[in-house]
Each structure stands twice: as structure tokens, then as C-alpha cells.
Structure 1
Amino acid sequence: MAALVEMDNIVKIYPNGVVANDGVSFSVERGEIHALVGENGAGKTTLMKILYGEERPTSGVIRINGNSVHFHSPQDAIRLGIGMVHQNFMQIPSLTVAENIVLGKEPTRRGLLDRKAAIQITEELSRQYGLKVDPEATIESVNVGMRQRVEILKILYRGAQILILDEPTAVLTPQETTELFKSIRTLVKQGKTVIFITHKLREVKEISDRVTVMRGGRVMGTLLTHEATREGLARMMVGRDVFLEVSKPPQVRGEKVLEVCDLTYVSETGRQVLRGVSFNVYAGEILGVAGVEGNGQTELVEVLTGLRPATGGEARVLGTPILNRTPRAVRLAGVAHIPEDRLTNGLALQATINENLIVDRYFRPPFRRGWFIDNNEVRRHGQQLIEIFDIRTPGGEVPVASLSGGNMQKVILAREFSSQPQLLIAAQPTRGVDVGATEFIREQLVEQRNRGTAVLLVSADLAEVMSLSDRLVVMYEGQITGVFPEAAKATEEEIGYYMLGVKRQSPEEMEAYL
């Protein structure tokens, strides 16, 4: 029998000459959960966008149920029972869950939306597939786990038999991930087929039946998941051995570097985002901040680095106040910052690599000589950091925008680490980078800690923040709700309850470890 989905010799070449898919052949059997893995830029999302009709292949053949098909838009794919849940949710925050699910295919009464029917449809779908949602809640009022379920219900409502899930667990807690996996298994039992795009190899082992690995726009192989190992899959993805676990010597904790006391921040709209946040970070330690995104972590980092004004409280680096100072003043106090959004706050995209490597120090010797910048010193400095941090580039004079995401991140790391900071604030440092670059970044963070730098690490990747941190705090709704003095001894399940707000330590418990 023919496979349910067959993609034969798919080629996708963009007008700028980039080859995203280079003769890819990929097949999915009916009723299986098929994982598709690869580094950023491997071509996996492009391949799935072709299957969903968002992109058109340069050449190649797609067959569904043995029949050759041609998709001109997602509507063509939807008509054949293919649905895709994108990594970035496509929802209208002010509408209800039910209204978002039926949007574009609304039940009507006398020409108007029949809200009662929309709620009934949502409730029936929710019960049938085990995807719990509140039909009458607005999207802006529900957590990210429910928003994920809404996206899946949207495509099920449109008749999807083949579900493409793109990084569906990227922002979920362990408990929400467990619930999602239960729902996926329920879908398969009811005859659905799932293609699961992810970079989390542990999840591949847990949820999939088969796994296809892509690298450089090509398929490296397809394996039965129970016969694959995480190490072997990582090797196929990167082309070399990758150390998945972080090697970290015992902590040697030094003096208090960062002291934050009763920090508050109220947004421009009047919402209290940070509510009495207090903690300390010491030399030679990594303090991790865990939490579902949107609970104040971004604002905490930006307040501490001078990108937002604090409403109240205090923060000092080695006794020097840093709140409501300019970013330059914060840097001069000994703070380095790896920003969450490297394209907006981390890099000047049209400037050269060499220029980006000195944007925080061009006004000081040895780069500034009188009124002029010493270009020879800038080039020497750039070449040295390019070699140390293995930035893949033809030279330091090319625009940083020409680099891959992983190499852009290495430029930021090279600049921030070479500033020899007292405090390093790292926000989502491995987001959007591949397995090989992730390994390098984690090693460098530990190396900074070993040198005696105080590191404040904020990451939505719970496994990452647990493995790298010495101590760990959890944020929920703008407050610290739990402190774990030994991150390595905590469990993902336990931390997940604090991330969801189900558990909360007393102020006395937290004060003893902060």
C-alpha cells in the first residue's frame, strides 16, 4: 500500500539562490506520529510549508493516498485534510476561544455569527479529542497551553486528518507538554496522522514512532524511534559528535554581585508586570530564572539592563545603583547583556561584524585615539574574536545580517564575554540556534561562571535552565514563587507546578535561599 503522504525529490530554490530543500524524499504512514528534526536552516519547516501549500516547490512530486496533488494555497491542502499549527500562534487576542476556532468558517444565524453554536462546536471538539479549553474565555486571558490547544482545535474543526505541529512544546511547561502528548495519542487512536517538528530529542524518543533527520536541505535518514538514540540523532543533525549534557565543576561562590530588592514595574498601559521581585546573584554562580513566557521575565531583564524604567525598588551591582540608568551606564557598572531579541536589541544588522564587536567600547582606548577610531585595532580585535568564538564568516568586514542565526548569536557572545563583566545577564541565549551552536553557548556560559562571573540566566527551556543553573528561581505573574537552592536536585514536574502557579513557597522559605 502507498504511504499516506509521499514527497518525492522535492527541490525548493528561493529567488536569492538559497537552496532550502535539495532533492528531499519524505513519507508518512497512516496513523503514525512522525518526528521531523534538524538544525535551524535544515529545511524541515520549508518542507512542511510546501506540504501545507504555503510554499510551492521548484520541482518534485507530492502524493496523498497515492494520488499526485498540486497545492496553490493552504486552502488546497485543507480541502485534502492537511492542517498545520505554526510555532507562532495565529489568533485574535480580543476574541473568545470559540470565536477563534470557528473564524473564517463561522456558524451563522440570520447572517450573523451564532455564538451559541460556536460554543457548542468547541465543546464537542474539546470532548472528542481530549483538548480542554474554555470556549467563552478571551484568548488574551488564557495561558499558553490553552492557546496551543485552540490552534489544534482550529485545524480539527476544518477537517484535518494530517496534523503538522511545528515546535508545539516550545513554550509549554512539563505538565502542559504531558497533556499535549496525551491529546496527540488520542488523536492518533481516532485515526489522525501527526507530523511533529521539534529540536528536543528527548521528546522525539517519547512521542514518535519514526523520525526523519534533515541537514543542509537534505534527508540524512529515517529511523524507527525505538532504535534511535539521542546521541545518534544529534550526530546526524550536526555531522559530528555533540555533548548533550553540560559538564560543570563544583561551584565556588564568591561575593554578592547583583542585589535586587522589591523591584516593581508598571507597563505603559498601567499593568503591574513586576511585583516586589527580590533576589541576589553571587560571583561564580549561575542563577536561573524559570517560568512560562509572559510572566515578567522579559521586563525583569530589560529593567536591569536600562532598556525600561523601573517603577520602584532597588538594584545594585557591587554597590553601584543601576536602575533607571542608561544602557551605557549599566554596562560601565560591569554588566554584560545577551538580549532575548538579538535582531532588535543585540545587533546592528547592516553594520559589519567588526563594528558590532565594538559597539559597547568604541569610545574607549584602544579603539578610540583622540577624535578618531583606530580601524587597524578594530580589525585586529574582530579577527581575534572571530577565531576564538568560531564565527563562520569570510571576514569581519561583512554585514552581520549575512550570518546564520547561530553565528549572529556568537557575535553577541563574543562581544559580551570579551567585556570581562562582573555580571552577565543572559536572556534566552540558545533560542533559535542549532544543536551545535547550543552546545558551544552552554559551554561558554559555564566557563564564565567558572571564571568568577555572576550569571543571571533567563530561559524558557526548562531542561536548559535546570542543567546550567546552580540556584533556580521560578517566576509567575511577575513574582518569584519558588526558590530551589540546588537546581540539579529539583525535578521538572515540581518546578512545573510553580510555573503554573499551582504551588507557591512562603516568603520565609524563599528568603532563606535568596
Structure 2
Amino acid sequence: MRLELRGLTKKFGDFVADDAIDLVVEPGRIHAVLGENGAGKSTLMNMLYGILEPTEGQILIDGAPVRFRSPGDAIAAGIGMVHQHFKLVGPFSVADNVQLGREHAKAGIIDRGAARRAVREVSQRFGLALDPDALCENLPVGVQQRVEIVKALSGPTELLILDEPTAVLTPPEVAELLAIMRKLADSGMSIIFISHKLKEVKAVADTITVIRRGKVVAEASPTDSEAELAAAMVGREVTLTVDKTPAEPGATALAITDLTVLDERGLPVLNGLNLTVRAGEIVGLAGVEGNGQTELARAVLGTLTAAGGSIELLGTEVTRWQPARRIAAGLGYIPEDRGRDGVVGDFTVAENIVLNQYRDAPLSRRGVVDETAVRDIAVKAIAEFDIRTQGPGEHVSALSGGNQQKVVIAREFSRPRKVIVAAQPTRGVDIGAIEFIHARLVAERDAGTAVLLISAELDEILALSDRVAVIFDGRIVGEVSPDRPRSEVGQLMIGHTPAENE
């Protein structure tokens, strides 16, 4: 399939989200669309997929103009899309989600056996292992992403749109997905790869279009340097390294001792874990995802109950405290899954920014929220954190994923705190925002805040941390300096201790 966009424009009132976009995707090619959060990438793809109707311009497939009034029209034309924000029905099984809208049926009765077989066939063909009977609401976000991809590939797909598909994947899953993309392109499929991750774009793209604030600003090559691509995205030179002075740690601010947390089967996911974070330092938690990082962050916040051990915050044991009390005592928390735990989609940007402080003065007087004070804080945060929104009254669900993450970051950095647990703080944000978030975390450290950084990106851990704690199978198996060779850290991450490697 050859796709051409001519002058495609989308306006929301006076706001121009996409401004006369021209784009050509050739058959069997991976065409990357690179841009900041809020640049207009997802809006552009939603027009192509029939979710939004263009204000102006044309879509042509193999030279013929087409008009999509719904995603069903796009699917019938051979277009599949994996959305940045998942479109899965949580209580449904994998098979039910994959066949939704194109159900297998016999005599008007849904054939669930056929649906299961279809999932197995597609997942095996493209190397995406899935259990057809698993409920989607119980799956980790990385596996939910696989369901979305299998769903998109289950129809007669000739052009596949991948909107930020790696935002929630682990590094091995990313490598696997990039290999699948290349395999699909080699088979003749056209692929649009929406991303802001420069390494991934350079690794897999054949052609790159850069969009900034709704306009095409550059046609680039994967041979261009990361610095050149970043500058095209952001419109200025971007620092790709973390600039920080040596830490000056103070007293212990977060102390976790012999912490045990059980899963729903009664098995330990944290098994006697010990960790300390001092004021004025960043401790990075490195590990292959699924070794207890999520449970550790939630246990520190208080949304998971400890089966044993203790958690001390600023010298006070808080193991049995509710989350609100821990937050009031000085805990900041950036959750790894912003959609589930970070924002309320139906609330406005302003309401989300004050979500954990609206009861406090000056935002509340005698139990009544001061809307003017809330708006003032939101306007300041929108400017400071460069949140691309039409205003503080816009619903967060209307923002791009990266801008939703900026709302979370703004909320946690706009109030007093002594300890910050930052779980995947740069997941799904662009290179300019990553630079900003890294600088803010270092500034927090320098101001005396204790920072526990949890990230699937080992580069991020090594660049930001003053100490690196490695987690494996629910325990800290070693602490190393961030200047240790990556290979040594990697061996610890898979459970090999130095003694075993000798």
C-alpha cells in the first residue's frame, strides 16, 4: 500500500493541531514520524484511522482519494493501528479483545474457539506470545501492548500504524518489536512508526519525517546524528548527557528493612528487601522488570500492604500508614503507569495538578476549594513544565501521553516533599522533556531531597544515580557505583553475583 497525505489539517476551534501535513509512505518501508509530545503526531494518525475528520486536505491510497468516517472504514481499507493509549476492554479475554468488531460466528453465535485459534496463529507467526484466555485487566502493560499489536495484525492489514508502541515495553521487548517491524516491512507491509525515541527510530526507520507544533519541519535520514534529530524535534540544541556534581548525602530519609510483600497467591514478590536512601542523593533501582520494582514502589506509597518488615520515612515508621498520610508527611510519588495511577482522565489539567493538595491552604478555605488559587497554580505549572494543553480547564484525557506525564511530574514537583519515589519518570516523554525531568531530579537531590529512581532504562539509571541498587527476585542483590561496567550491572540484574562469576 502506498499512502499519501496532502495538506492534511486539523483544527479544534482556533487551535491548529496539524497544519497542512504532506507525507508519503511507500510500500514495504518503515516511515518514522518523529516529534515532541503534543507535536500533532497522534492527531495526524487519528485522522488517518478515521477517529477524527480532517478539517482540510486529502488522504490517498495507491493514488486514489479516500475518506474515512470511522475506524471501520480504515480497517476495511487495510489499515491497522496500535494506539498509544490502549483500547482494550479490561474484563474481556485476549481472544475477545482481538476479535472485537470482527467476531468469528456460526449461525449468529460467537465462535470463541475460532477466536482463540486466530490469536494463537497470529501471535506465533509474529513472535508475540499470548494466552488467548487471559483477562486483559490482569496483564502487565507490556503484554497488553502485545494484545494491541496482535489485534491490529488480525485483519487484512497492508499498512500498520504504531503510535508510541515502545513506551511501555522493556528493552528486550523493544528489540523484539523492532525485529518484528522489519520482518513485516520486508514482507511488503507499509509501517508508520510514531515515536520520539531517537535510538529506536535510527535503528529501524527507512525514512523520517519530523513534526514540530503541528508542522513538518524536516525530512531526515536514520544516518543523521541523534543530536541533529533532537534539535529538529525541539527547535534548539538538546543536551543528551546528565550534568551533575558529586552528591553530598545527609541523614537517611527512607529506610526499608526486611520488607516482604505477597502476591494474590500468597507468594513473596518482595522477600526480605533492604534499602536506604539518604537526603541529597539519587539511588537508582536497576533490574529486569518483573522482579519486584512495581511492588516496592507501591509498598513505599502504601497501596500495597507489607506482610513483614518495616518502612521508615524521615525517621518515623510508616509501615501501616495510609498513602494520604505518607504524602502529607513529605513523600512524593511518580507512578509507573500514569493512565491507571497517575491521572484522572475525566478531571481537568488543573484538578489533576492539585489532586493531592487541594484540601490544604491556600487551595482550600474552611473545606471549600478556592478555584482561583487552583487555576493560578495550574497556569504556573503549565508554563514551567511546558504542558501542551489548550488551558487548565482541558480534560487530561485529551492530552498526549507525554503531556499527561508532565502533569504528573508537575504535581509532584509543585509541592513540598522530602522523599520522591520516581517510577519510570520519563516513560513516554520526548527528548526535550527527558532533559528537563533529569535536570529537575538532580535539582531535587541538590536541594536535599532523597530520590529513589526506578527505571527500565539502564542508561538512565547509570546517568542519574549516585548509588545503584540491583533488584532480583524481590531482593537487593548488590549495590554498585554508577561508573561500574554495564556488563557487571547486567550480570547482577540476572541474579549472578560476583562470586558466581569468578
| Unmatched tracts of structure 1, length 5 or more | 510-514
Quote how far apart the aligned CAs of 1:475 are.
Answer: 5.4
RMSD over aligned Cα atoms: 4.3
SS state of the match for residue 225, structure 1? coil
| Aligned residue number for residue 484 of structure 2 | 489
User: Partners of 1:24 and 1:148 in 2: how far apart?
Assistant: 28
- Contact 2:80-2:160 at 8 Å conserved across structures: yes
Asked which structure has the greater CA Rg, the reply is 1
Does residue 278 (structure 1) correspond to residue 277 (structure 2)? The answer is no
Name the % identity: 39
Worse-superposed segment, 281-290 or 293-302: 293-302
Quote how far apart the aligned CAs of 1:232 are.
Answer: 1.4
| Equivalence map 1:25-424=2 (5 Å) | 25-92=22-89, 97-109=94-106, 112-114=109-111, 117-127=114-124, 129-134=125-130, 136=132, 138-140=134-136, 144-226=141-223, 228-265=224-261, 274-290=270-286, 297-306=293-302, 309-327=305-323, 329-331=325-327, 333-338=329-334, 341=338, 342-344=342-344, 349-350=349-350, 362=361, 386=380, 390=384, 405=404, 408-409=407-408, 411-416=410-415, 419=416, 421-424=417-420
User: Partners of 1:328 and 1:109 in 2: how far apart?
Assistant: 52
| Unmatched tracts of structure 2, length 5 or more | none
User: Partners of 1:55 and 1:476 in 2: how far apart?
Assistant: 45
Quote how far apart the aligned CAs of 1:132 are.
Answer: 3.8
- Contact 1:471-1:483 at 8 Å conserved across structures: no
Letter in 1 for 2:296: L
1:477-506 deviation digits (Å, cap 9, x = unpaired)? 7x23654513453549975994xxxx3357
User: Partners of 2:101 and 2:367 in 1: how far apart?
Assistant: 60
Does residue 456 (structure 1) correspond to residue 452 (structure 2)? The answer is yes
User: Partners of 2:290 and 2:196 in 1: how far apart?
Assistant: 22
Worse-superposed segment, 110-119 or 250-259: 110-119
Quote how far apart the aligned CAs of 1:236 are.
Answer: 1.4
Worse-superposed segment, 484-493 or 453-462: 484-493
Letter in 2 for 1:278: N
| Aligned residue number for residue 480 of structure 1 | 475
User: Partners of 1:231 and 1:248 in 2: how far apart?
Assistant: 20
Quote how far apart the aligned CAs of 1:447 are.
Answer: 2.3
User: Partners of 1:82 and 1:59 in 2: how far apart?
Assistant: 21
Letter in 1 for 2:184: L
- Contact 1:244-1:439 at 8 Å conserved across structures: yes
Quote how far apart the aligned CAs of 1:253 are.
Answer: 4.1
Quote how far apart the aligned CAs of 1:256 are.
Answer: 2.9
Quote how far apart the aligned CAs of 1:76 are.
Answer: 1.1
Taking structure 1 as reference, are residues 66 and 205 closer, same or farther at Cα in structure 2, changes over 3 Å only?
Answer: same
Q: What is the TM-score when the length of structure 2 is the normalising length?
A: 0.80
Question: What count of residue pairs does the alignment treat as equivalent?
Answer: 482
- Contact 2:470-2:477 at 8 Å conserved across structures: yes
User: Partners of 2:99 and 2:238 in 1: how far apart?
Assistant: 45
1:397-450 deviation digits (Å, cap 9, x = unpaired)? 97697996576456435424xx3x442222343345443333122112112223
SS state of the match for residue 54, structure 2? coil
User: Partners of 1:221 and 1:485 in 2: how far apart?
Assistant: 42
Quote how far apart the aligned CAs of 1:217 are.
Answer: 1.0
Quote how far apart the aligned CAs of 1:314 are.
Answer: 0.6
Quote how far apart the aligned CAs of 1:28 are.
Answer: 0.8
Taking structure 1 as reference, are residues 334 and 124 closer, same or farther at Cα in structure 2, changes over 3 Å only?
Answer: closer
SS state of the match for residue 175, structure 1? helix
User: Partners of 2:456 and 2:467 in 1: how far apart?
Assistant: 16
User: Partners of 2:409 and 2:119 in 1: how far apart?
Assistant: 45
- Contact 1:348-1:356 at 8 Å conserved across structures: no
Letter in 2 for 1:177: V
Q: What is the TM-score when the length of structure 1 is the normalising length?
A: 0.78
Quote how far apart the aligned CAs of 1:105 are.
Answer: 3.2
Letter in 2 for 1:9: G
